[in-house]
Amino acid sequence: MKRSGLVFGVMVVGIALLLWAGWHNLRERRLAMQQAQENHVVLVPEKAGPAAQTDSQSPEAEAMQMRGKVAPGFTLVTLDGKKVSLSDYKGRPVLVNFWATWCGPCKVEMPWFEEFRKQYAAQGLEILGLADDVDAGKDAIAKVAQKTGVTYPILLTDGKIQKAYGGPDGMDYLPMSFYVDKNGVIVEETAGLGSKDEIEAHIKKIVASGATTAAGGQ
C-alpha cells in the first residue's frame, strides 16, 4: 500500500513536471518565434543567382513556386490597345517578365531581353513584359519601354495576373521572370536581377524544350 502510494506520488510529480516543461517550452518557443519574425529579414542573396534568390524553405517561396507548373493563362492589353494572350504563343518558348517603372533592376535587364529576343528569334522566342505598375500611367510605362529600347509587347496588368503568378498578395518583389517552355510549362522562375549569362541559360532551356513550332504564334 505504502509502495503503491509512493509510486503514485512519483507519477503525479513526474506528470506535473512534464506539464510545466511543456508550458515552459511552449512559452520559450513562442518568444523565439516572435523574436525571429521581428529580427529576421530574408533578402535576395548577395549572389544574384536566380536559383539562390528564392529561398526554397520560406513559405513565400512555397506559395510562389511555379516551377514545373503550367503557366497561368492571360489576355492583356498592349500599350497600343491590342489584346495579347499567352495562348497566342502556344508551341513557342516565352519569357514572361514582370517589371515596373519605379524598379531600377528591372530596367537593367530589359535591354538584355530585347537582345536575346533577336538572337533567338529563329527558335521562336517571345518576351512579354508585364508592367506591374498600377499607379503609373500608360505614358510613363511607354516612356520607360522606349528608353530601354524594347520592342517586345509591353502588357498592362489587371491585378489578377499578379496573383496568378505571385500568390494572393501579388508580386512581392520585382523583377520576376517566368520561363515558359513550348509545352506551356514554367521551367524556371527568377526573382530579382540575375546576370545576363543566367538569363541566357534559362532562355536556352525553354528554346531547347519540346517540339519546335514555327514562329508566328498566332
Partner 1 sequence: MTGLFAGLLIALPIGLAAQQVGNLDAPVVKPKSYVVYGADQQNVVAGKRSVVELHFRVLDGYHVNSHTPKSELLIPTRIELQPATGVKAEAVEYPTGTSYSFSFDPTEKLDVYTGTFTVRLPVVAEAGTHSVDGTLRYQACDHAACYPPKSLPVQVIFTAK
Q: Which residues are catalytic?
A: 106
Residue among 9, 16, 20, 21 that touches partner 1 (CB under 8 A): 21
Q: How far is the CB of 85 from partner 1 (least distance, A)?
A: 25
Q: Which residues contact 26 (CB under 8 A, 6 or more apart)?
A: none
Residues 64-93 that bind partner 1 (CB under 8 A): none
Choose the binding region for partner 1 from 36-44, 72-80, 115-123, 204-212 (rule: CB under 8 A). 36-44
Which grid cell is 205?
532551356
Q: Could you say whether residue 9 binds partner 1 (CB under 8 A)?
A: no
92 DSSP 8-state letter: S
Q: CA separation (Å) from 118 to 94, 97, 139, 151? A: 13, 16, 25, 10
| Interface with partner 1 (CB under 8 A), residue from 132, 181, 188, 189 | 132
For the record, the C-alpha cell of 119 comes out as 538572337
Q: Toward partner 1, which CB reaches closer, 60 or 158?
A: 60
Spatial separation of the C-alpha atoms in residues 206 and 217, rounded to whole Å: 15
Q: How far is the CB of 190 from partner 1 (least distance, A)?
A: 10
Residue burial 61-77, b: 16+ Cβ < 10 Å; e: rest: beebebeeeebbebebe
Site of interaction with partner 1 (CB under 8 A): 7, 11, 14, 18, 21-22, 25, 28-29, 32-33, 36-37, 40-44, 46, 48, 53, 55, 57-60, 100-106, 108, 132, 135-136, 140, 143-144, 170-175, 191-193
